[in-house]
Amino acid sequence: MASYGFTLCKLCAIFLILLTCSSKTASFATPISDDIFESQALAGRHLLQAKQSCPVNFESLNYTIITSKCKGPLYPPKACCGAFEEFACPYAYVLNDPKNDCASTMFTYINLYGKYPPGLFATKCREGKQGLKCHHRHHA
């Protein structure tokens, strides 16, 4: 009977791992919440609200998807928002989580590498109450 319990434990563990993996891969169609733009606009105002570290290493990502397409001085919304969507949508599942610092971390690096005006994506890339629709599934 002990071996049956051990096998059941293994099956439960495998089920939980598969559930976790499938939820992360299936969520690429998740829109990017409108709330993440507050991280860009109000980045310095939440100092006393401790958040968990982001599980994605945004420092090591390639930002040329955005910086090669979104250029000033006019920063055309179609080019900038399309590039932002292409870059950010694969990470919608973590960017939409208000318990972590992923959105503010991502915007820090976008602005660092692109030298964009504060709030650029927050003002140009909103598509309504649901936020930004994700049409891109993964990076090329």
Task: Give the model's pLDDT for residue 126.
Answer: 80
Please determine, for residue 29, whether its predicted confidence score (pLDDT) is greater than 70: no
> pLDDT tens digits for 64-100?
999 999 999 999 999 999 999 999 999 999 999 999 9
Residue with the larger pLDDT of the pair 138 and 9 = 138
Task: Give the model's pLDDT for residue 36.
Answer: 61
Q: Which pLDDT band holds residue 139 (cuts at 50, 70, 90)?
A: very low
H helices, E strands: number in the chain: 7, 0
Q: Which pLDDT band holds residue 28 (cuts at 50, 70, 90)?
A: very low
Per-position DSSP letters for 11-79, written without gaps between them: HHHHHHHHHHHHHHHHGGGSPBPTTHHHHHHTTTS-TTS--BPPSS-GGGS-THHHHTT--TTT--HHH
Cα 120 to Cα 23, 33, 41, 72: the distances in Å are 31, 16, 9, 11
% of residues, the chain, pLDDT over 90: 46
pTM above 0.85, yes or no: no
3-state DSSP: the chain helix, strand, coil percent, rounded to 5? 55, 5, 40
Other beta carbons within 10 Å of 11 = 10
Terminal-to-terminal C-alpha distance of the chain: 50
